[in-house]
Amino acid sequence: MALIVHKYGGTSMGSPERIRCVAKRVAKWARTGHQMVVVPSAMSGETNRLLALAKELAPARATEAYHRELDMLAATGEQASSALLAIALQAEGLGSVSYAGWQLPIRTDSSYTKARIESIDDQRVRADLAHGKVVIVTGFQGIDDEGNITTLGRGGSDTSAVAVAAAMKAHECLIYTDVDGVYTTDPRVVPQARRLQTVSFEEMLEMASLGSKVLQIRSVEFAGKYRVRLRVLSSFTPWDMDIDEEARSGTLITFEEDEKMEQAVVSGIAFNRDEAKLSVLGVPDKPGIAYLILGAVADANIDVDMIIQNLSKDGKTDFSFTVHRNDYARAIDLIKEKVLPVLGAHEVVGDTNICKVSIVGIGMRSHVGVASKMFRVLSEESINIQMISTSEIKTSVVIDEKYMELAVRSLHQAFGLDQEAA
């Protein structure tokens, strides 16, 4: 008997029928003697629906007062689905009780719409578990020191579940979703993509940060920090499947690298179309330039991803970097108004039709030539590389967006990730 946390995503909770399936599955786990805590998302589409209502009444505003109300509003989605799940569990003959974030409480900071969890009081949960109840805890939400309701950012229920598992030292946190695990790449782009049985925590962190959207990145960070055993699996299997088989299904996020001895050097190919490139041309090549450009960008709260400074010619150089596409227009204006005049640089040019493609694998630490193989594969497809960045377990390139699928498919095959034909 162990303490287990289940998390169910929006599609898994998408209708009364789906909620009934979740209840039957949870009941199966509870009846084998496990102590069960369940963290559901809002029913699919509900958060979008609520936020769209707000937009209908007033265009998005950057004020704290507005964001406070967005959280007040969006948090209701999880409150509803949690109560519905408790009702469904009661109908299955189990004792069950649901709690909103503020009732435990789950304490967060006050950054509305992207709050961070600071602590979780699990007293009530423990007491209910001791009485044999299944406890439902709302995902996505918490409460700040002043008693305001906060939310954790889109996809934040993953983080709620991992945080609850960490706080309660659960045996495992199972994230039930509409895919059956973590894949070598997006199967919609490469049909030969394979499900990984295990993936290391560090690889998962890279893949999540690179845009593989299976888990909210903060949940992976949390799992790493508190060493939570985390598994991603499908909620669309028959609820009455064999529980041991279910417990082994999906993808386990591991901490022990040796578990992956047989694993390939590269575990996955990630891609991301959310970035845009800016190049400041004719920058004088002297100390303080990177600070001048990127300092201004950072002061405007714009995150920079890749950076490249070219070799100088006649004391002038070009300086390129990428930002999120949503920040692109703001970044261009900022450079034009604040940086060019001070720098005496010629101009700033931009490109939004770019894509970042990355290979990820902890095997890259111990193998040389992995990056150069990536460059060779791309050159064989005549794909021009605009920027490169590397870390210990990842190599990323920026290429023209129109070659994204070709690049991902070729790399997937070249690194031996294609599924063997059955």
Rounded Cα distance, 22 and 237, in Å:
11
| Interface with ligand ASP, residue 10, by CB under 6 A | yes
| Interface with ligand ASP, residue 155, by CB under 6 A | yes
| Interface with ligand ASP, residue 140, by CB under 6 A | yes
Residue 380: CA count within 13 A, CB half-sphere: 11
Total of chain residues touching ligand ASP, rule CB under 6 A: 12
Q: Which of 402, 405, 321, 414 is nearest to 375 (CA)?
A: 414
Q: Taking the complex as a whole, how short is the minimal distance between the CB of residue 257 and Mg ion, in angstroms?
A: 27
Print the binding letters for residues 43-62 with ligand ASP: x by CB under 6 A, - otherwise. Answer: ----x---------------
Contacts of 374 (CB under 8 A, 6+ apart): 359, 395, 397, 411
Rule CB under 6 A: which of 17-46 touch ligand ASP? 41-42
Nearer to Mg ion, 88 or 152 (CB): 152
Contact 363, 264 (CB under 8 A): yes
Nearer to Mg ion, 213 or 336 (CB): 213
| Interface with ligand ASP, residue 222, by CB under 6 A | no
Contact 86, 124 (CB under 8 A): no
Q: Which of 305, 296, 356, 307 is nearest to 331 (CA)?
A: 296
Q: Taking the complex as a whole, how short is the minimal distance between the CB of residue 153 and ligand ASP, in angstroms?
A: 8
Q: Taking the complex as a whole, how short is the minimal distance between the CB of residue 375 and ligand ASP, in angstroms?
A: 37
Nearer to ligand ASP, 158 or 246 (CB): 158
Nearer to ligand ASP, 84 or 94 (CB): 84
Q: Which of 179, 171, 123, 156 is nearest to 39 (CA)?
A: 156
Rule CB under 6 A: which of 70-89 touch ligand ASP? 77
- Compute the C-alpha angle 267/271/272, nearest 5°: 145
The tokens of 244 are what? 């041991």
Contact 356, 275 (CB under 8 A): yes
Contact 203, 393 (CB under 8 A): yes
Contact 41, 110 (CB under 8 A): no
Specify the stretch interacting with Mg ion by CB under 5 A; choose among 23-31, 105-113, 151-159, 245-253.
151-159
Print the binding letters for residues 158-177 with ligand ASP: x by CB under 6 A, - otherwise. Answer: x-------------------
Contact with ligand ASP (CB under 6 A): which of 28, 126, 154, 194? 154
Give Cα 182 to chain centroid, integer Å.
12
3-state secondary structure of 415: coil
Q: Which helix (H) or strand (E) holds 98?
A: strand 96-99
Q: Report the residue number whose CB is nearest to Mg ion.
A: 155
Contact with ligand ASP (CB under 6 A): which of 14, 98, 115, 139? 139
Contact with ligand ASP (CB under 6 A): which of 14, 142, 156, 224? 156
Contact with Mg ion (CB under 5 A): which of 155, 156, 224, 361? 155
The tokens of 105 are what? 């409480």
β-strands 141-143, 149-151 pairing: antiparallel
Q: Taking the complex as a whole, how short is the minimal distance between the CB of residue 156 and ligand ASP, in angstroms?
A: 5
Q: Taking the complex as a whole, how short is the minimal distance between the CB of residue 16 and Mg ion, in angstroms?
A: 20
Positions in the binding site for ligand ASP (CB under 6 A): 10, 41-42, 47, 77, 139-140, 154-158
Positions in the binding site for Mg ion (CB under 5 A): 9, 155
